[in-house]
Copies of this chain bind each other. A is one copy, B any other.
C-alpha cells in the first residue's frame, strides 16, 4: 500500500520511523511538512527524510506543499497528521475532502475534521467506496474505536463514560495524592510538559468535549456538535472538594459521558469510588462502555504521545491494507 503523509511533526515522524523499522508492506510515496514536500512514486527513503528534517527543518523540497500532494500525488491512503486547528478543522479538513473525492482512503489523528464534519466525510467516503479511519483522534494508543466498532460489533452501545483528557487526570491525581491546589498541580503539569502554556483547552474540558462529540457521532450515530456538550472544567476545583471525596474513599475525575437514552452528553468533574476501574493515575485515559450483550468493558492506556498516536494510525493503516487494498 502506498501512503502520503501530510504533517511531519512528532506524530508524522513517529509514523515514518515505525514504517521504516517494521516491514508492514507500506510504502511512503509522498510527504509534506508545513514548508516543504516530497513526491517519489517509487517510495521515499524515510531515514534520509528524517535526517534531512533534523538537519534543515525541512523534510523535502520547498516548491512542494501539502495541498499539492493531496491533489496530485500517487497514493492509496492519505495520512493526515498536520498541525490542525481543532475548532476549524483546517487545513486537515480540506486535505481529507480532496483525498476522498479522488477515491483515496484516509487515516487521520486530527480531531477537528472528525468532530466537525463526520457525517459529510463519511457520506463522501461511502460514495467513493473508500475508508475513513480516525482511531488516533480519541484516547491516543487505546484501540477504542476498533474495540467498539469491530470487537463489540453486534452490541448496542448504551452508555460510554471515561477519562478522556490526560492533562486533567494528571492534575487531579496530584491534587488528590499530595493535597496540592489546582494552581500548584497545573504548574507541575506544565513543568513536566503535560500542559500547554495556555491550558484552557484542556482544563476547561474542551478537549474532552471534542472527543465526546467524535464518539457520539461515530459510535452512537448522533449528529452532535461541540455546543451540544454540557461542559464543566476542573479549574474551579478546590483541595477541599478532593478531601471530602477522599473521606468517602472516593476521588474526583473529569468524566465525559454519553447516554443517549437519558440525553446526556456531558463533561464534568465527578466523585467516583477509588476502586472504580476509571480511577487511573497520572496522564492515563480510561473509558468504560456499557453494552447490551458484553456488559461493561473498560479500556485503559496512554491517551497522548507521538509514538502512541503513531500506533493508532498504523493500526488503522493495517486495517485498510488488509481489507481494501490487498484483500485479506
Chain B residues with CB below 8 A from A302, complex form: 294-296
The contact of A311 among B143, B294, B312, B318, by CB within 8 Å, is B294
Chain B residues with CB below 8 A from A244, complex form: none
In A309-328, which residues have CB < 8 Å from any B CB?
Answer: 310-312, 314-315, 317-319, 322-324, 328
Q: Determine if A153 is an interface residue (Cβ-Cβ < 8 Å).
A: yes
Q: Determine if A261 is an interface residue (Cβ-Cβ < 8 Å).
A: no
Q: Determine if A147 is an interface residue (Cβ-Cβ < 8 Å).
A: yes
Interface size bucket, A side? 35 or more
Question: How many protomers of this protein does the assembly include?
Answer: 2
A87 to B323, CA, bound (A): 35
In A258-293, which residues have CB < 8 Å from any B CB?
Answer: 274-275, 277, 279-281, 291, 293
Q: Contact: B151 with A135, CB < 8 Å?
A: yes
In A143-179, which residues have CB < 8 Å from any B CB?
Answer: 143, 146-147, 150-155
The contact of A308 among B295, B314, B318, by CB within 8 Å, is B295
A interface residues, Cβ below 8 angstroms from B:
18, 22, 24, 135, 141-143, 146-147, 150-155, 274-275, 277, 279-281, 291, 293-302, 305, 307-308, 310-312, 314-315, 317-319, 322-324, 328
